[in-house]
Amino acid sequence: MIIYVNQKQSVELNEGSTAENLLQALHLNAPKDGLHLEINGEKKDASHPLFDQDQVTIKDFDTPEGKEVFWHSSAHVLAQAILRLWPEAKPTIGPPIEQGFYYDFANVTISEEDFPKIEREMESIIKENFKPERLEFSSKEEALNAFAKNPYKQELIQGFAGTISGYKQGEFFDLCRGPHIPNLGKIKAFKLLKTSGAYWKGDAKKEMLTRVYGISFPDRKALKEYLQRIEEAKKRDHKVLGPKLQLFSFKEEAPGMPFIHPKGLVIWNRLLEFLRDCLEKYEYIEIKTPTMMSKELWQKSGHWNHYKENMYLSQVEEKEFAIKPMNCPGCMLFYQSTVHSYRELPLRIAEIGHVHRYEPSGALNGLFRVRAFHQDDAHVFLRPEQIQEEIVKILHLADYIYMTFGLSYKLELSTRPEKSMGTDEDWEIATQGLQQALDDWGHSYTVNEGDGAFYGPKIDIHIRDAIGRFWQCGTIQLDLSLPEKFSLEYVDSDGEHKRPIMLHRALFGSIERFLGILIEHFSGKFPLWMSSYQVAILPVADRHLPYAKELAKKLKKASLIVEIDDTKESVSKKVRKAQLLKTNYIITVGDQEETNKTLSLRTRDNVVHGEMSIDLFLTSVMQEREGKELISPFSTTPSKV
């Protein structure tokens, strides 16, 4: 029989062959190969039988699908090991996550001190090289009986519809949809990372469970590199660096709502100045809408029915209000305030709005997950034939913004989900517009079928930081819903009133989260143009303080941020203090510099340049600042006077 693989090649197999036979025929036996299998579009295990003309998609560990299956199988190994060590434990759920996997357990307490013995047991299970075996239940009752001693699994089963399955490896049997890797021997390296508490189904009213996180790879080198990245990430942690650099803090009086300190506000304002320059260049207008608006508005937008539990509510004069969780409805009201002509379109309206969303306290995470934040939103109103050109313009803007910070990125197009609003024709026009724009843009992108919003398809932009982590920041969403709900119109060239198409777009995402990402991306060592610690002047002795002040005055005149360290500490300690604050330039002044009217320079990467003229220093740093350079002109080779 003939089997078609990855839509590229055909393979001839004997009748009665399985997907595992196909992997063997293709020599996909390496640990990283043949992890994810789709047969005629459905996810299957390697044991699944093949038939003539079957279409098989095979993916390895380098793909998201391959990692997902690999990490899910690793979660089962973790659960099997814990049950061997603590037979009374109750496994609940164990999904793959963005980096690795976790498994939640009831009726057991596990600490990181237990990790070595758990890892030894996991190693033993992997050496047994079980082949995960799928078993399907004939009925829901049979499944309930199989997990009669586990109320958590029973609760899950009660909510299932359709076929219910489980997976067996050795003595371990777990409720699971699958699929799984062909054999556990493919797991060549793993590490348990941390443990924490987690509520059953994320509900604070339910039981607290023990969650164990882990990571695994098909080779030891990958694990070593991952652990090195983790250590590097710890050094860059914005929750540590931010307070140390006096950029922001959190207070008990306002949980999840950051206080931006003066040093942090310097960076904040530079980001906003940069953003507003971009908005002006790309012909946006900017508005500001109220923070609190009436219940009726949120009912009209749909948020009251679908998002109320995440909104902060208030009552004024016996009327209900809500603090806005997003900017969109306010922009709809602004659009309604005047009659619009087709000649105005595309109409680009930006708002850097302060929004509030209730997040459970356990989900809060520094600047990455907060309850109050500023979104750099824009809503673009346009005609259907303008979609493609406008998307390309937004992608150009996104590219310029991210490249300014040295951030590469990847693009994802998400298409119509099962539940959606709008006609087939609307969705076809919208999706084709986004896809054609991406094709014209020329960058590679992936398609997430069925992962769009209910109101329209979208493009997500994932930025990649200095240590290879991806962050979902930018988004371009085509909305077929809000213009309809708010009866938005424009007068077309034929005099007819027509409904505009609307694009949501955000590129920073939120200013707070983007600031957190930048702190970690730059490890606190911001480029000069946005740094809040630009120049530190260190007088060698008290007698050099007047010259230090004279020099500071000249540098401040050039709009540089300058601080003089006039403490009684030694010069070496002053240098160390400036370096810990990630100061771009550290200037020492002593007898020679005062006599020659020069300065002695070193950079924060500890390159000593020695004595140089003030004019040379100013000329160089002005060019660096105006050009928003990522690398200092003094970073590698010492300058001369």
- CATH number for position 608: 3.40.50.800
Q: Which residues pair with 133 in a beta bridge?
A: 168
Say if residue 27 is exposed, middle or buried (CB neighbours under 10 Å; 0-12, 13-18, 19+).
Answer: exposed
Neighbours of 468 (CB within 10 A): 12
**CA–CA distance, 201 with 599 (Å, rounded to integer):** 62
Tell me the CATH number at 37.
3.10.20.30
Q: What is the pLDDT of residue 637?
A: 43
With respect to residue 296, please indicate whether it lies within any of the assigned structural domains.
no
Which residue, among 90, 444, 104, 405, has the nearest Cα to 271 in the 3D structure?
405
> Do 436 and 462 sit in the same domain of this protein?
yes
User: Are 391 and 434 a contacting pair, CB within 8 Å?
Assistant: yes
With respect to residue 246, please indicate whether it lies within any of the assigned structural domains.
no
Q: What is the pLDDT of residue 638?
A: 39
**Host domain of residue 567:** 528-626
With respect to residue 499, please indicate whether it lies within any of the assigned structural domains.
yes
Residues annotated as catalytic (active site), given as ranges: 328, 357, 375, 377, 379, 458, 504
Q: Total structural domains in the chain? A: 4
Per-residue buried b or exposed e for 145-166, using 16+ beta carbons within 10 Å of the residue's own CB: ebbeebebbbebbeeeeeebeb
Amino acid letter, residue 232: E
**CA–CA distance, 464 with 411 (Å, rounded to integer):** 11
Chain centroid offset of residue 330 CA: 26
Which residue, among 231, 251, 249, has the nearest Cα to 241 in the 3D structure?
249
Tell me the CATH number at 414.
3.30.930.10
> Do 480 and 448 sit in the same domain of this protein?
yes
> Do 403 and 495 sit in the same domain of this protein?
yes
Say if residue 125 is exposed, middle or buried (CB neighbours under 10 Å; 0-12, 13-18, 19+).
Answer: buried
User: Are 218 and 190 a contacting pair, CB within 8 Å?
Assistant: no
Element (DSSP H or E) covering residue 210: strand 208-217
Element (DSSP H or E) covering residue 332: helix 328-336
> Do 372 and 478 sit in the same domain of this protein?
yes
Chain centroid offset of residue 255 CA: 22
DSSP character string of 576-602: HHHHHTT-SEEEEE-HHHHHHTEEEEE
With respect to residue 263, please indicate whether it lies within any of the assigned structural domains.
no
**CA–CA distance, 347 with 503 (Å, rounded to integer):** 10
User: What angle (nearest 5°) sits at the alpha carbon of residue 17, between those of residues 16 and 22?
Assistant: 165
For the chain, which residues score pLDDT lower than 70? 636-641
Q: Which of 218, 233, 248 is the last residue of a domain?
A: 233
Element (DSSP H or E) covering residue 126: helix 115-128
Q: Which of 58, 85, 104 is the last residue of a domain?
A: 58
Contacts of 605 (CB under 8 A, 6+ apart): 635
> Do 351 and 431 sit in the same domain of this protein?
yes
With respect to residue 251, please indicate whether it lies within any of the assigned structural domains.
no
> Do 503 and 394 sit in the same domain of this protein?
yes
User: Are 387 and 437 a contacting pair, CB within 8 Å?
Assistant: yes
Residue keyed to tokens 């942690």: 237
With respect to residue 111, please indicate whether it lies within any of the assigned structural domains.
yes
> Do 538 and 500 sit in the same domain of this protein?
no
Q: Which of 479, 513, 547 is the last residue of a domain?
A: 513
> Do 348 and 467 sit in the same domain of this protein?
yes
User: Are 361 and 310 a contacting pair, CB within 8 Å?
Assistant: no
> Do 70 and 213 sit in the same domain of this protein?
yes
Tell me the CATH number at 223.
3.30.980.10
> Do 78 and 187 sit in the same domain of this protein?
yes
With respect to residue 460, please indicate whether it lies within any of the assigned structural domains.
yes
**CA–CA distance, 416 with 517 (Å, rounded to integer):** 30
With respect to residue 636, please indicate whether it lies within any of the assigned structural domains.
no
Strands 259-260 and 248-249: antiparallel
> Do 87 and 201 sit in the same domain of this protein?
yes
Question: What would the two tokens of residue 30 be?
Answer: 């390496």
Q: What is the pLDDT of residue 636?
A: 60
> Do 436 and 558 sit in the same domain of this protein?
no
**CA–CA distance, 570 with 539 (Å, rounded to integer):** 10
